[in-house]
Amino acid sequence: MDHTALELLELGAVFFGLGLLGRLAQRIGLSPIPLYLLGGLAFGAGGVIPLGDIGDFTSLAGEVGVVLLLLLLGLEYSAVELVTGLKRSWTAGIVDIVLNAAPGVAVALILGWGTVGAMVLGGVTYISSSGIVAKVLSDLGRLGNRETPVVLSVLVFEDLVMALYLPILTALLLGVTLWGGISAVAVSLAVISVVLVVALRYGRYVSAVVDSDDREVFLLKVLGAALLVAGFAQAMQVSAAVGAFLLGIAISGSTAENATKLLEPLRDLFAAVFFVVFGLSTDPRAIPPVLGWALVLAVSTAATKYATGWWAAKRARIGRMGRARAGAALIARGEFSIVIAGLAVGYAAVPAELSALATAYVLIMAVLGPIAARYVEPVMRAIPTRTPATV
């Protein structure tokens, strides 16, 4: 068969299959991320029907997916909201880091994966999935609840931590010296500070540069700017994802709202390809040996993330039921855990088993998180309490 025809057939099958998986996820009320990962596992090396002719396209599409994921995340926040959220949630954010990165770090060290492996796995277990959490809160009608601002503040803090963490991780993966690592931290701090200042004082000018009344021109300018900034950030070893996130913060007002509406379909398409690409890069035969550790991490980090949300809500003087909802809402892991693991795949400093462990872990947590959020209320009501609960 003609090479181009084969590529088109395979690519069409991938996209159509993703559509079917997304529809199935809607029917069963779960995030599509686990199904996309399973799809990648099925058609990657060691899978049912390996695909080998569309690797170049899917790899680049996966990179674009990460850029769009972080760009739209940045568009959700204004610089003022980020600063306010940071002031409100920094203590809960520190507790979050300690409790939820520690299990990943410990397991990586036990398995002999070294400092870099511990850094990667700690990041995988630390960060909640903003996408899944927001979707669950919306589906369950909890956006107006008292505990929801607490949950969102923790997520904002995690996103800011990622803006620092990813450049440091990139430097470690590249095997830079201690001075190089310090330089990476300094550069990332400087870039983040400059972007926040620019966004606070001159955000309207950044928005004006990319804005347009014509949808086609607007799409081309926003997407082009995101890729340019991501490429420049990658060249500076700050991470393409962080560059896209910071650009999103700098765009504000109605421009940010319009860009979100315009880019959401593209983000969903390319993000789905990204999860499939990660699944394609993982040999399903490597998952059974690490499945036990994935379950250990799932149980321990579900408990620690629940404790984080409970403690943060308690500090905000929210009642018992609200604390439970806050803790359960934060349990899900998803896109950012895969972004971290995907960044590390292919580097000699990170063992191949790490991608298999990350895949198994995210598969479990992306399913467990929404289930826990949905059923935490009936479970809590079944537990007797000595004093009346305040919702």
Does residue 140 belong to any structural domain of this protein?
A: yes
Radius of gyration of the chain (CA): 21
Among 151-160, 217-226, 256-265, the least confident range: 151-160
Q: Which of 388 and 195 is assigned the larger pLDDT? A: 195
Does residue 336 belong to any structural domain of this protein?
A: yes
Does residue 112 belong to any structural domain of this protein?
A: yes
Q: How far apart are CA 365 and CA 329, in angstroms?
A: 12
Does residue 47 belong to any structural domain of this protein?
A: no
Which sign does the torsion angle of CA 69, 116, 367, 39 carry?
A: positive
Domain holding 174: CATH number?
A: 1.20.1530.20
Does residue 46 belong to any structural domain of this protein?
A: no
Does residue 388 belong to any structural domain of this protein?
A: no
Give me the half-sphere count of Cα atoms (radius 13 Å) on the Cβ side of residue 294: 22
Q: How far apart are CA 380 and CA 325, in angstroms?
A: 9
Please check the confidence at residue 222 and state whether its pLDDT lies above 80: yes
Does residue 229 belong to any structural domain of this protein?
A: yes
pLDDT digits (tens, 9 = 90+) for 125-160: 999 988 788 878 877 888 788 888 888 888 878 877
For the chain, what is the domain count?
1
Does residue 146 belong to any structural domain of this protein?
A: yes
Q: Which domain holds residue 108?
A: 58-380
pLDDT for the residue 325: 95
What is the pTM for the complete model shown?
Answer: 0.79
Classify residue 29 by its DSSP letter.
Answer: T
